[in-house]
A and B are shown apart, each in its own frame.
Chain A
Amino acid sequence: MKINIAKYYPLIPVYAVYLTMFLVGFFVPGLWQLVALLAFYCALGQSWNIFMGMTGYVDFGYVTFIALGTYGMALGITYFSQFPGLGIAIIFIGLLLALFLSTLSAILEAGIALRLRGAYFAIACIGINEGLRHLIEGAKIWGGSEGMLYWKELTEVFGTETAIQLTTLWADIAVFIIAAMAAFINVYYMRSKIGYALTAIREDEDAAKVMGIDTTKYKTIAFLTSGWLGALVGAMAWGLKLTHVFPADVFVIHYTVECIVIVVLGGIGTLLGPLVGGLIYGLSKYWLAIILPGFQLLIFAPIIICIIIAFPEGVIGVVKRRVKGTRLERYII
C-alpha cells in the first residue's frame, strides 16, 4: 500500500509548536520547568483524546493509567537497581512495566466498564481507580500507603550526576517524545480504518454495528493505545522525574478532570486541540499562581467558562470550521 504523505500534513503545525516549546525551554533560562509542565499537559491531553475524542466515551478513571505507569517506573528502578550492569536499560524496563501494568488495568476496565455507556461508564472507571488505590494501600502492595522512594537506587545505578540529569532533563524530554508519538498515532488513527470506525461509534454505536463495525474491537484498540500513552507519561513525568510514588498522590481524579478541561478547551477529537488546550490551561494556571497567589482558582474558573462560551467546540473546533475550504484546511484537524 502506498503511503499518502499529505495525510500527515496536520502534524506539521503540531511538531512546530512542540519544537518551539522545546527550544524556548532549552535556551531561555528559567523556563524549562514551565515548558516541561506544558508538555506534560499537552501529552496527557493528546493521549486521552485518542480514546475520548474519537469514541466520545468519557473516561474519568484515566488517571489510573498514569498512576500505574508511575508504579511501573518505580518498580523498574527499585527492583532492577540490584543489577547495576543493566545501566540505562533499567529505565526501559520501567517503561515496559508501565505498559504491562496499564495493559492489565485496561483489560480490567474493558471487561467491566467498556460494556457500559455514558455516565455509567464514567462512574465504573472512577470505581476501578479508587478500588485500585485502596487495594494498594490496604493490602500494603508496593509499600502500601507509604509508597515507594527510589532516589537512592537511582543514584546507586547511575551516580548522582547522571541521576540528576535523568530526573531533571531527560524525563522531560521523554515527555516531549511521548507527546510527539501521541500526535502521530492520533493522525494515523484518524486517517485509517480505525478512525472511521471510532467516528461511527461516537456518532451512533448501534448503527455502526449494523454497518459491520466490530465496536468492541475498535473501542479496545483506542482504549489500550490511550492507556499506554498515559502510562508512559506517568512513568516519565512522575515516576522518573519525582523518584517517589504515593497512592494518595497518583490515583487522583483531579488529573482526569484536567485532561477533560484541556481537551474540551482545545477541541474534542481534533489533533491540535489538546495541544492548544494544554498550552492555555498550563500557562494560565502557571501565571495566575504567580500574579495572584491564593486566588488563582477563583480567577481560573471564570476564564475557562469564558473560553468555552466563546469557543463552544473548543478553540480548534471553531478554527477548523473557519478554515474549511481554504488552503489551511489540510493542516488543521
Chain B
Amino acid sequence: MALLRLENITKRFGGLVAVNDVSLEIEAGESIGIVGPNGSGKTTLYNVISGVYPPEQGRIFFEGKDITNLPAHRRAPMGIGRTFQIPRPFSSASVRENVAVGAMFGTLSGKVSVDECSEIAEHYIELVGLQAHKDKDSGTLTPVEKKLMEIARALAMKPKLLLMDEAMAGMHPRDIDDMVKFLKKIKEDEDITIVSMVEHIMRAVAGFAERVMVMYRGAKLIDAPTAKALSDPRVIDVYLGRPTGEGEDAEG
C-alpha cells in the first residue's frame, strides 16, 4: 500500500488549471523530488495534499484512507507535515514555542503534555542547529534560520510524510550539501518519507532524491529515477529552452 496516492488530481483557479490530472504514488521510505519551473503547479499540489484547498477532481489517499475531503487540521495528526516556500513562522512566538506547536498538534497530538512538547522542541531545535536562537522571537530570525525552524517544527510533528517546499532556496551551496546530508540522516533516524520540492537547485535534488517527478504547466512531465529524469531531453527543454541563448539560469 502506498503511503500517499494521488489519483488524477486537478485544481483550477478560475480559468487557470494549476494542477492538471496529476497522479502520483509514494511508497513509505522513499525520497522524492518534485521539480518544475516557477508556476508549474508544485506548490498548489502541496496545498492540495496538505488540505489547504480541495481538488476539483481526483482523490487523495493517505495510508489507504481517502482524505480528499478531510480538513487540513485533521491531516496533520495523521502524519502529513510540511514546510512553506516562504517561511510562515508564528512571529511573536519564540523559536521554541513555534517548534512546540508542531509537537503539540502533529501525530503526538493529545498524547503529550505542553512541557513534554517543549522538550521535544528543544531536541529538534538542536538537531537543526538553532539552539542559540531558541528563545528569540521567530520573526527576528534570518530567512535561512526561519527555514531551519520550519523544518524543526515539521519534524516535531513526527510526521510519516514530510513535504518540503523549497527548503534550500537561498542557501549557500555548501549549506545545501549539509542540508542534503541532514535530510538523508533524518530520513533514516526518524523513519520519514520525504518529498522535497525545488524549482531549480538541481544540486539538492540530485543529491537527495531517488526519484523525481517533473511538473510543467500543471501537468506531470515525467516520473522517473533521478538521473534519468534530470537528463531527459524534455526536462532540459523545460528548464533551458531550446539552445538559442546563454541564460543557463533560466527559470521558465
* Interfacial residues, chain A to chain B (CB-CB below 8 A): 1, 4, 191-193, 196-197, 199-200, 202-204, 206-215, 269
Given A4-B115, A196-B104: A212 and B90 interface contact (C-beta under 8 Å)? no
Contact A207 B114 (CB under 8 A): no
Which residues of chain A are within 8 angstroms of B124 by Cβ–Cβ distance?
A: none
A147–B51 Cα distance when bound, in Å, is 50
B97 sits at the interface (CB 8 A): yes
B91 sits at the interface (CB 8 A): yes
> In the complex, which residues 119-135 of chain B have their Cβ closer than 8 Å to any Cβ of chain A?
none
CB distance from A332 to the nearest CB of B (A): 15
Which residues of chain A are within 8 angstroms of B114 by Cβ–Cβ distance?
A: 191-193, 196
B88 sits at the interface (CB 8 A): yes
Contact B100 A215 (CB under 8 A): no
Which residues of chain A are within 8 angstroms of B104 by Cβ–Cβ distance?
A: 193, 196-197
Which residues of chain B are within 8 angstroms of A213 by Cβ–Cβ distance?
A: 73, 101, 105
Which residues of chain B are within 8 angstroms of A208 by Cβ–Cβ distance?
A: 90, 101
Which residues of chain B are within 8 angstroms of A215 by Cβ–Cβ distance?
A: 73
Chain B's closest residue to A199 (CB) is: B93
Contact B73 A209 (CB under 8 A): yes
Chain B's closest residue to A325 (CB) is: B135
Contact A212 B97 (CB under 8 A): no
Contact A210 B82 (CB under 8 A): yes
A199–B100 Cα distance when bound, in Å, is 12
A196–B101 Cα distance when bound, in Å, is 6
Which of A1, A209, A213 lies at the interface centre, i.e. has the most chain B CB atoms within 10 A of its CB?
A209
Which residues of chain A are within 8 angstroms of B169 by Cβ–Cβ distance?
A: none
Which residues of chain A are within 8 angstroms of B153 by Cβ–Cβ distance?
A: 211
Interface residue from A199, A211, A214, A269 paired with B102 (Cβ < 8 Å): A211
CB distance from B159 to the nearest CB of A (A): 10
B69 sits at the interface (CB 8 A): no
Chain B's closest residue to A195 (CB) is: B114
Which residues of chain B are within 8 angstroms of A203 by Cβ–Cβ distance?
A: 89-93
Which of B73, B74, B91, B100 lies at the interface centre, i.e. has the most chain A CB atoms within 10 A of its CB?
B73
A-B interface, 10 closest residue pairs, ranked by CB to CB distance from nearest:
A212-B76, A212-B105, A203-B90, A207-B88, A209-B72, A214-B73, A200-B90, A204-B88, A209-B73, A210-B50
Contact A199 B97 (CB under 8 A): yes
Given A192-B114, A200-B101: A210 and B91 interface contact (C-beta under 8 Å)? no
Q: Can you list, as one digit per residue, whether each of B83-111 has a CB less than 8 Å from chain A (1) or not (0)?
A: 01000111111000100111011100100
A200–B98 Cα distance when bound, in Å, is 8
Which residues of chain B are within 8 angstroms of A204 by Cβ–Cβ distance?
A: 88-90
Interface residue from B52, B92, B97 paired with A210 (Cβ < 8 Å): B52
In the complex, besides A197-B105, A203-B92, 7 extra interface pairs with C-beta distance below 8 angstroms are A4-B115, A199-B92, A207-B84, A210-B51, A211-B101, A212-B77, A213-B105
* Interfacial residues, chain B to chain A (CB-CB below 8 A): 50-52, 71-77, 82, 84, 88-93, 97, 100-102, 104-106, 109, 113-115, 153, 157
Which residues of chain A are within 8 angstroms of B113 by Cβ–Cβ distance?
A: 1
Contact A207 B90 (CB under 8 A): yes
Contact B92 A211 (CB under 8 A): no
A145–B93 Cα distance when bound, in Å, is 47
CB distance from B143 to the nearest CB of A (A): 16
Contact A196 B71 (CB under 8 A): no
Contact B52 A206 (CB under 8 A): yes
Which residues of chain A are within 8 angstroms of B76 by Cβ–Cβ distance?
A: 210-212
26 example contacts (A-B, Cβ-Cβ < 8 A) are as follows A4-B115, A191-B114, A192-B114, A196-B100, A199-B92, A199-B97, A200-B101, A202-B90, A202-B92, A203-B90, A203-B91, A203-B92, A203-B93, A204-B90, A206-B88, A208-B90, A209-B52, A210-B50, A210-B52, A211-B105, A212-B75, A212-B76, A212-B109, A212-B157, A213-B105, A215-B73
Which of A200, A202, A269 lies at the interface centre, i.e. has the most chain B CB atoms within 10 A of its CB?
A200
Chain A's closest residue to B113 (CB) is: A1
Which residues of chain B are within 8 angstroms of A209 by Cβ–Cβ distance?
A: 51-52, 71-73
A206–B105 Cα distance when bound, in Å, is 14
Which residues of chain A are within 8 angstroms of B73 by Cβ–Cβ distance?
A: 209-215
Which residues of chain B are within 8 angstroms of A193 by Cβ–Cβ distance?
A: 104-105, 114
Which residues of chain A are within 8 angstroms of B115 by Cβ–Cβ distance?
A: 4
Which residues of chain A are within 8 angstroms of B84 by Cβ–Cβ distance?
A: 207
Chain A's closest residue to B153 (CB) is: A211
A208–B88 Cα distance when bound, in Å, is 9
Given A192-B114, A196-B104, A199-B97: A210 and B72 interface contact (C-beta under 8 Å)? yes
Contact B51 A199 (CB under 8 A): no
CB distance from A45 to the nearest CB of B (A): 19
CB distance from B16 to the nearest CB of A (A): 20
A193–B100 Cα distance when bound, in Å, is 10
Contact A212 B92 (CB under 8 A): no
Chain A's closest residue to B102 (CB) is: A211
Which residues of chain A are within 8 angstroms of B109 by Cβ–Cβ distance?
A: 212
Which of A207, A208, A209, A211 lies at the interface centre, i.e. has the most chain B CB atoms within 10 A of its CB?
A211
A256–B157 Cα distance when bound, in Å, is 39
CB distance from A312 to the nearest CB of B (A): 14
Which residues of chain A are within 8 angstroms of B105 by Cβ–Cβ distance?
A: 193, 197, 211-213
Which residues of chain A are within 8 angstroms of B93 by Cβ–Cβ distance?
A: 196, 199-200, 203
